[in-house]
Amino acid sequence: MYENLPVIPTSVIGSYSQPGWLHLVQKAAAAGEFGEADLKEAEDDAVDVAVRDQEDADVDIITDGEMRRVGFFTAEFYHHMTGLDTREQSRKSGVGGHDQREKYLALEPLGAPNGLGLMEEYEYVRKRTNRQIKM
């Protein structure tokens, strides 16, 4: 799968730390204060920072940091899927936890007719580094 790596290659596990300004832009975009192009530009910049940080640290296998995914890794995938109905959150205040995440009910066979958005993320980070990458 990966070629020309050291015996024990380095990589990051999980999401890379998001810059504080990215959260502010995502929040403003959700409120309609920024457009899609504004959000994409900020996410691109955040990916660029994550890639550069990893290269500067001499990480062998680079990740995009999951900068385009608001919430947990899998939470963003639901927005690309068909056959799901969103359920009301049972708890909306207090310390954030899984019981505050969106819940879904499968109403029909699940699908992702336009994919889960991973190819676009992969293609972007592929253009940003010559190192091996993972998604």
Q: For 31-40, 66-75, 85-94, which range has the lowest pLDDT when averaged over its residues?
A: 66-75
Contact 102, 85 (CB under 8 A): no
Contact 133, 62 (CB under 8 A): yes
Segment 99-127, tens digit of pLDDT:
667 788 899 999 999 888 888 899 999 99
* Nearest to 17, CA basis, from 60, 55, 64, 57: 64
Q: Is the predicted pLDDT of residue 2 greater than 70, yes or no?
A: no
Query: With bands split at pLDDT 50, 70 and 90, how would you rate the model's confidence at 61?
Result: very high
With pLDDT > 90 as the criterion, what percentage of the chain qualifies?
59
Q: Is the predicted pLDDT of residue 68 greater than 80, yes or no?
A: yes
